[in-house]
Amino acid sequence: MKAKQWIVIGVVTSGVAILTALAGVPLSPRTFRTTAVVGAVFQLPNPVATNTEVLAFDTFAGHDLVSLALGESLLPVPTNQVLALEINCGSSQASLVVFDKILSSNIVTIATSTQITALTGQDNPTAAGPNHERFVMQMGVSTNGALVGGFLTVAGRAFLDPVTGCPRAVLVDTDRGHDRGFADAVVKDHDDKIKDTLIAGEAHLIGVVNVIFQDGSTNTTLIPFGQLTMRRQLLP
Protein backbone atom coordinates (compact mmCIF):
# COMPACT_ATOMS: atom_id res chain seq x y z
CA MET A 1 0.00 0.00 0.00
CA LYS A 2 1.30 3.45 -0.92
CA ALA A 3 2.17 5.92 1.83
CA LYS A 4 -0.62 8.34 0.86
CA GLN A 5 -3.21 5.66 1.56
CA TRP A 6 -1.98 5.47 5.16
CA ILE A 7 -2.52 9.15 5.89
CA VAL A 8 -6.13 8.77 7.04
CA ILE A 9 -6.31 5.20 8.33
CA GLY A 10 -2.98 5.36 10.15
CA VAL A 11 -3.47 8.54 12.15
CA VAL A 12 -5.09 7.05 15.26
CA THR A 13 -2.87 3.98 15.60
CA SER A 14 0.35 5.90 14.92
CA GLY A 15 -0.44 8.49 17.57
CA VAL A 16 -1.09 5.82 20.19
CA ALA A 17 2.14 4.00 19.35
CA ILE A 18 4.25 7.13 19.73
CA LEU A 19 2.70 8.10 23.04
CA THR A 20 3.17 4.58 24.38
CA ALA A 21 6.79 4.38 23.29
CA LEU A 22 7.69 7.69 24.92
CA ALA A 23 5.79 7.18 28.16
CA GLY A 24 8.11 7.32 31.14
CA VAL A 25 11.19 8.28 29.10
CA PRO A 26 13.57 10.46 31.14
CA LEU A 27 14.19 13.83 29.47
CA SER A 28 17.94 13.93 30.09
CA PRO A 29 19.85 15.74 27.32
CA ARG A 30 22.52 14.28 25.06
CA THR A 31 25.27 16.41 23.47
CA PHE A 32 26.71 15.40 20.09
CA ARG A 33 29.77 16.73 18.32
CA THR A 34 28.47 18.59 15.27
CA THR A 35 30.12 19.72 12.06
CA ALA A 36 28.51 22.45 10.00
CA VAL A 37 28.73 24.51 6.83
CA VAL A 38 26.42 27.48 6.18
CA GLY A 39 26.09 29.89 3.30
CA ALA A 40 25.66 33.54 4.28
CA VAL A 41 24.45 36.70 2.53
CA PHE A 42 25.01 40.19 3.95
CA GLN A 43 25.37 43.81 2.82
CA LEU A 44 28.57 45.83 2.40
CA PRO A 45 29.10 49.45 1.33
CA ASN A 46 29.44 49.90 -2.40
CA PRO A 47 33.00 51.15 -3.15
CA VAL A 48 31.75 52.83 -6.33
CA ALA A 49 28.58 54.48 -5.00
CA THR A 50 28.89 54.99 -1.24
CA ASN A 51 25.19 55.80 -0.83
CA THR A 52 24.27 52.25 -1.86
CA GLU A 53 25.14 48.75 -0.68
CA VAL A 54 26.08 45.53 -2.42
CA LEU A 55 25.34 41.95 -1.46
CA ALA A 56 28.26 39.87 -0.24
CA PHE A 57 28.32 36.07 -0.14
CA ASP A 58 30.44 33.83 2.06
CA THR A 59 30.58 30.36 3.59
CA PHE A 60 31.12 29.65 7.28
CA ALA A 61 32.19 26.39 8.92
CA GLY A 62 31.25 25.16 12.39
CA HIS A 63 34.38 26.67 13.92
CA ASP A 64 33.39 30.09 12.54
CA LEU A 65 30.06 29.85 14.39
CA VAL A 66 31.97 28.95 17.55
CA SER A 67 34.30 31.94 17.19
CA LEU A 68 31.40 34.32 16.55
CA ALA A 69 29.53 33.02 19.61
CA LEU A 70 32.66 33.49 21.74
CA GLY A 71 33.28 36.96 20.34
CA GLU A 72 36.69 35.97 19.00
CA SER A 73 38.47 36.38 15.68
CA LEU A 74 37.68 33.81 13.00
CA LEU A 75 41.39 33.00 12.87
CA PRO A 76 43.06 31.01 14.26
CA VAL A 77 40.57 28.14 14.18
CA PRO A 78 39.64 27.07 17.73
CA THR A 79 40.34 23.41 18.50
CA ASN A 80 39.43 23.14 22.18
CA GLN A 81 36.00 24.71 21.68
CA VAL A 82 33.81 22.97 19.11
CA LEU A 83 30.25 23.07 17.81
CA ALA A 84 27.76 20.61 19.31
CA LEU A 85 24.03 19.90 19.35
CA GLU A 86 22.33 19.15 22.65
CA ILE A 87 19.00 17.33 22.38
CA ASN A 88 16.91 15.61 25.02
CA CYS A 89 15.26 12.20 25.08
CA GLY A 90 11.90 12.53 23.39
CA SER A 91 13.28 15.32 21.16
CA SER A 92 11.23 18.09 22.77
CA GLN A 93 14.16 20.45 23.45
CA ALA A 94 17.43 21.13 21.62
CA SER A 95 20.24 23.68 21.64
CA LEU A 96 23.16 24.46 19.35
CA VAL A 97 26.07 25.02 21.72
CA VAL A 98 29.81 25.55 22.08
CA PHE A 99 31.41 22.56 23.81
CA ASP A 100 34.74 23.01 25.62
CA LYS A 101 36.79 19.81 25.36
CA ILE A 102 39.09 20.74 28.24
CA LEU A 103 36.23 21.57 30.61
CA SER A 104 34.09 18.77 29.15
CA SER A 105 31.11 21.09 29.28
CA ASN A 106 28.77 23.17 27.14
CA ILE A 107 29.89 26.76 27.74
CA VAL A 108 27.85 28.94 25.36
CA THR A 109 24.40 28.51 23.83
CA ILE A 110 24.25 29.63 20.20
CA ALA A 111 20.55 28.85 19.62
CA THR A 112 17.73 27.16 21.54
CA SER A 113 14.66 25.45 20.16
CA THR A 114 11.31 27.17 20.57
CA GLN A 115 9.39 24.32 18.97
CA ILE A 116 10.20 20.79 17.74
CA THR A 117 7.96 18.40 15.84
CA ALA A 118 9.41 14.89 15.52
CA LEU A 119 8.02 11.75 13.91
CA THR A 120 9.54 8.39 14.85
CA GLY A 121 9.98 5.22 12.83
CA GLN A 122 10.55 1.63 13.93
CA ASP A 123 12.26 -0.62 11.37
CA ASN A 124 12.22 -3.72 13.59
CA PRO A 125 8.71 -4.61 14.86
CA THR A 126 10.20 -6.80 17.59
CA ALA A 127 12.36 -3.99 19.02
CA ALA A 128 11.37 -2.18 22.20
CA GLY A 129 10.64 1.07 20.34
CA PRO A 130 11.50 3.38 17.43
CA ASN A 131 15.08 3.46 16.16
CA HIS A 132 15.04 6.72 14.17
CA GLU A 133 13.14 9.97 13.68
CA ARG A 134 12.64 12.94 11.39
CA PHE A 135 12.30 16.36 12.93
CA VAL A 136 11.67 20.02 12.15
CA MET A 137 12.67 22.55 14.78
CA GLN A 138 12.47 26.31 15.13
CA MET A 139 15.30 27.93 17.10
CA GLY A 140 15.96 31.36 18.50
CA VAL A 141 19.54 32.60 18.23
CA SER A 142 20.99 33.81 21.53
CA THR A 143 22.95 37.03 22.04
CA ASN A 144 26.54 36.01 22.73
CA GLY A 145 29.85 37.38 21.47
CA ALA A 146 29.32 38.70 17.94
CA LEU A 147 25.87 37.13 17.58
CA VAL A 148 22.89 39.33 18.39
CA GLY A 149 19.74 37.26 18.03
CA GLY A 150 17.99 35.83 15.02
CA PHE A 151 16.22 32.58 14.17
CA LEU A 152 16.88 29.21 12.55
CA THR A 153 14.64 26.53 11.08
CA VAL A 154 16.35 23.13 11.19
CA ALA A 155 15.07 19.93 9.58
CA GLY A 156 16.76 16.54 9.66
CA ARG A 157 17.00 13.07 11.06
CA ALA A 158 18.45 11.31 14.10
CA PHE A 159 19.01 7.77 15.31
CA LEU A 160 17.24 6.67 18.50
CA ASP A 161 17.89 4.08 21.18
CA PRO A 162 14.89 1.71 20.87
CA VAL A 163 14.88 1.11 24.62
CA THR A 164 15.12 4.68 25.94
CA GLY A 165 13.94 6.75 22.98
CA CYS A 166 17.04 8.93 23.38
CA PRO A 167 19.12 10.12 20.41
CA ARG A 168 22.26 8.04 19.92
CA ALA A 169 25.30 7.70 17.69
CA VAL A 170 25.74 4.56 15.57
CA LEU A 171 28.59 3.05 13.60
CA VAL A 172 26.70 2.51 10.34
CA ASP A 173 24.42 5.10 8.75
CA THR A 174 21.36 3.09 7.70
CA ASP A 175 19.02 6.02 7.01
CA ARG A 176 20.51 7.65 3.92
CA GLY A 177 17.74 6.80 1.47
CA HIS A 178 16.20 10.29 1.40
CA ASP A 179 19.34 12.37 1.95
CA ARG A 180 19.56 13.67 -1.62
CA GLY A 181 15.89 14.62 -1.81
CA PHE A 182 15.95 16.29 1.62
CA ALA A 183 19.32 18.04 1.10
CA ASP A 184 21.04 16.24 3.99
CA ALA A 185 24.72 15.35 3.66
CA VAL A 186 27.83 14.51 5.65
CA VAL A 187 29.77 17.66 6.57
CA LYS A 188 33.50 17.05 6.89
CA ASP A 189 35.34 18.05 10.05
CA HIS A 190 37.38 21.19 9.31
CA ASP A 191 37.56 22.14 13.01
CA ASP A 192 39.61 19.91 15.32
CA LYS A 193 39.93 17.32 12.51
CA ILE A 194 39.41 14.32 14.76
CA LYS A 195 38.58 11.22 12.75
CA ASP A 196 35.04 10.28 13.70
CA THR A 197 33.29 7.19 12.35
CA LEU A 198 30.13 7.55 14.45
CA ILE A 199 27.01 9.36 13.28
CA ALA A 200 23.92 10.44 15.20
CA GLY A 201 22.10 12.28 12.42
CA GLU A 202 22.07 14.95 9.72
CA ALA A 203 20.13 18.15 9.15
CA HIS A 204 19.84 21.24 6.99
CA LEU A 205 18.83 24.76 7.97
CA ILE A 206 17.83 28.25 6.90
CA GLY A 207 17.57 31.40 8.98
CA VAL A 208 18.62 34.94 9.84
CA VAL A 209 21.38 35.92 12.28
CA ASN A 210 22.45 39.41 13.35
CA VAL A 211 26.25 39.65 13.42
CA ILE A 212 28.56 42.32 14.82
CA PHE A 213 31.24 43.10 12.21
CA GLN A 214 34.79 44.26 12.92
CA ASP A 215 33.81 47.92 12.58
CA GLY A 216 31.33 47.49 15.46
CA SER A 217 28.19 47.64 13.31
CA THR A 218 25.43 45.04 13.69
CA ASN A 219 24.43 43.53 10.35
CA THR A 220 21.56 41.28 9.30
CA THR A 221 23.00 38.09 7.81
CA LEU A 222 20.80 35.73 5.83
CA ILE A 223 21.46 31.99 5.91
CA PRO A 224 19.72 30.71 2.78
CA PHE A 225 21.06 27.21 3.36
CA GLY A 226 23.30 25.26 5.71
CA GLN A 227 24.03 21.68 6.73
CA LEU A 228 24.78 19.94 10.03
CA THR A 229 26.13 16.49 10.83
CA MET A 230 25.75 15.14 14.37
CA ARG A 231 28.57 12.76 15.28
CA ARG A 232 29.81 11.13 18.49
CA GLN A 233 28.17 11.72 21.86
CA LEU A 234 30.06 14.16 24.10
CA LEU A 235 27.69 14.40 27.09
CA PRO A 236 26.43 13.04 29.41
Q: pLDDT, tens digit, for every residue of 35-77?
A: 999 999 999 988 888 888 999 999 999 999 999 999 999 999 9
- Nearest Cα neighbor of 228 from 186, 190, 193 is 186
Please choose, from the candidates 76, 216, 86, the residue with its C-alpha nearest in 3D space to the C-alpha of residue 148. 216
Q: Which of 194, 225, 179, 230 is nearest to 31 (CA)?
A: 230
The model's pTM: 0.87
Kindly report, residue by residue over 168-218, the tens digit of the pLDDT.
Answer: 999 999 999 999 999 999 999 988 888 889 999 999 999 999 999 988 999
Give the containing element (helix H, strand E) for 57.
strand 53-61
Number of domains present in the structure of the chain: 1
What single letter denotes the amino acid at residue 18? I
CB 112 within 8 A of CB 125: no
**How far from chain centre, in Å, is Cα 198?**
16
Enclosing domain of residue 223? 3-235
**How many CA atoms within 13 Å lie on the side-chain side of 99?**
23
3-class secondary structure, 130: coil
